[in-house]
Structure formats: C-alpha cells, structure tokens
C-alpha cells in the first residue's frame, strides 16, 4: 500500500521454513478487525529453504495492509532488531510463523496498552486449538503448559514471557537498546524482557487470545528444547543472573507440576494431564543437554 497514514501497530514476523503453518499465521493477521490503515507488517525471513516466502507473497499480493520484507542470516536477535529498527508503530505485536491470532487480538492488545502507560510488554492468553488440529499427545501437553502459564491476567513476574503473542511498547524496547543482534538462537526474548523490566516497565498477561500449532512428535519436541538450552547458555554467558540454574530441576518444581494437574483437568477434561510432570522432565533433560553442549 502507498497510503501515507500514521501507523499505530507494527506486526513483526520473524520466520524461517514455516511453509506448513505460515498461511494460517498471515491470514490471522489479515483478518484482524483493527483498522488495516493503522497497521504495518514487517517480515524478516531467515532465507527459508522451503516455500515459506512464496506463500507469504501470495497471501499479501492483494492485501490491504502495508508490508515490508527483510532478510537476515544471523539469527533471532538480529531478526527482531530489524523489526525494532524499522517499526513505525507505537506498538509492536510479535507473530510467529506458527501462530494464529483471534480476530480481535490486536484491537484488545492496543486498547490495553493505551490504558496502561506503565506497561512495557503484555502477552495474550494462550488457548488450545480446536480438537483435531493439535490433537496428539505431544502437542496437547505443550498446549496445556502454555495455557496454564497465561491463564491469569494481570501483572506477572514470570522470568520469560517469550515474544509470541506479545505486544511491546516500541518506546520501551528502544529505550533499553532493543534486542541483542549477537544472539543467534533463542534467549533473545528473555534478555530483552529482563532489560525492559529493569528499566521500570511492567510486564502483564492481557486478555487477548492467540493459538499456536505445536510440535507433533517427541523427537521434534526434544530437538526444540535442546535448541532452547543452547540459546540459554549464550544468554547465561552474557548475564548469569538472567537464568537461575538451580531452579531448573528442584523437587519443588516437580511438586508444582503435580499440583497443576487438577487445574489442567478442569480446563481440558482430559486424563492425559497426569503426564504433565513427565512432560516437564523430558523437556528439561533436553534443555540441559543443549546447555551443556554449548559450554
């Protein structure tokens, strides 16, 4: 689009090899009931080797939203900083290539931020995809964990919200220097969030709803969390206070997971929530392996 109109919201999509899910993600942006003339879409592609970019261009060809596409080879820190550097909006909404926004997501997030000037970052509430889309055990257990994390709205002291489903106040993230472009793997979000919080901004869970398409095999989940562990190691080298290693495997955490089972069952009515503690241990073992390998 060539209209010269003030942008209220920048949607940042950092993607790579997401051909299986990117259509849903893009369509959920295009279907927003927030005025499209007040939105812009910045896509940063990590030189995808599949049809991700082809699908993106096809979906945006006749779209009534202004957009720009950038490329990078240096990882998530650089990709997110490209969005921050180029954002014209007062707010940045982060949408991953496997995310699906509710139709009123951006409207609700913007309304919340407009009424909460001290909030730097607000994450939406995670809900499980309709039956059949994330229907297998691996995806379901991962869904439940994210749903439990975001079930209560209000100010949060969570160590990491992750960027997916978050709205950032552009002023806040720029004030703290943005994302670290030297961070190639995950952990760039935790690093940025810790600096935003340290600068005096509040972090919240808001009511806007989003969903994600989850990994569907134990192997894929294992590889994902090994990657998370590697990224955490790089973050730990930068700021050893950002990660409390003693909190990764303490007995109290496992006990907490058992106490989450009744709430999870109330929300899902599925007995497979009994596997939540084992699911947690599985992921933490993968995380620890990645952390050690990056030593």
The pLDDT tens digits for 145-197 are: 888 888 889 999 877 888 999 999 999 999 999 999 988 778 899 899 999 99
pTM of the entire structure? 0.89
Domain segments of the chain as ranges: 9-214, 217-295
For 9-214, CATH gives 3.90.550.10
Task: Scan for tokens 């949607």, then name that residue.
Answer: 11
Looking at the predicted structure, is the pLDDT value of residue 3 above 60?
no
Nearest-Å Rg of the Cα atoms of the chain is 19
Stretch 97-101: mean pLDDT, rounded? 94
Say how many residues make up the chain: 295
Stretch 96-117: mean pLDDT, rounded? 96
Summary count for the chain: helices (H), strands (E):
10, 9
- Bridge partners, 101 (sequence order): 210
CA dihedral 134, 205, 168, 27 (to 10 degrees): 30
To the nearest whole number, what is the mean pLDDT of the chain?
89
Burial of 268: CB neighbours in 10 Å, binned 0-12, 13-18, 19+: middle
pLDDT at 228: 84
pLDDT at 2: 44
Long-range (24+ apart) CB contacts under 8 A made by 196-199 are: 196/120, 196/121, 196/168, 196/172, 197/120, 199/120, 199/172, 199/175
């Amino acid at each position: 689009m060539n209209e010269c109109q003030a942008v209220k919201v920048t949607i940042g999509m950092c993607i790579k090899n997401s051909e299986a899910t990117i259509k849903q993600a893009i369509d959920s942006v295009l279907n927003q009931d927030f005025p499209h003339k007040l939105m812009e879409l910045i896509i940063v592609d990590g030189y995808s080797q599949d049809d991700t970019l082809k699908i993106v261009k096809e979906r945006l060809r006749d779209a009534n939203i202004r957009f720009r596409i950038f490329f990078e080879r240096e990882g998530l820190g650089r990709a997110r900083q490209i969005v921050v550097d180029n954002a014209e909006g007062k707010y940045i909404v982060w949408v991953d290539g496997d995310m699906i926004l509710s139709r009123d997501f951006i409207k609700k997030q913007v309304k919340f931020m407009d009424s909460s000037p001290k909030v730097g970052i607000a994450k939406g509430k995670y809900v499980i995809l309709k039956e059949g889309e994330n229907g297998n055990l691996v995806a379901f257990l991962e869904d439940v964990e994210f749903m439990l994390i975001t079930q209560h709205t209000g100010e949060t002291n969570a160590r990491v919200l992750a960027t997916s489903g978050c709205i950032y106040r552009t002023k806040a993230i720029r004030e703290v220097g943005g994302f670290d472009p030297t961070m190639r793997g995950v952990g760039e979000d935790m690093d940025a969030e810790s600096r935003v919080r340290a600068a005096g901004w509040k972090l919240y869970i808001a009511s806007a709803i989003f969903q994600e398409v989850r990994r569907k095999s134990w192997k894929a989940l294992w590889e994902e969390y090994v990657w998370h562990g590697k990224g955490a190691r790089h973050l730990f080298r930068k700021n050893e206070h950002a990660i409390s290693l003693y909190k990764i495997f303490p007995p109290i955490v496992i006990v907490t997971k058992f106490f989450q089972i009744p709430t999870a069952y109330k929300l899902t009515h599925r007995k497979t929530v009994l596997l939540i503690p084992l699911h947690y241990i599985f992921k933490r073992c993968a995380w620890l392996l990645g952390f050690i390998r990056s030593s």
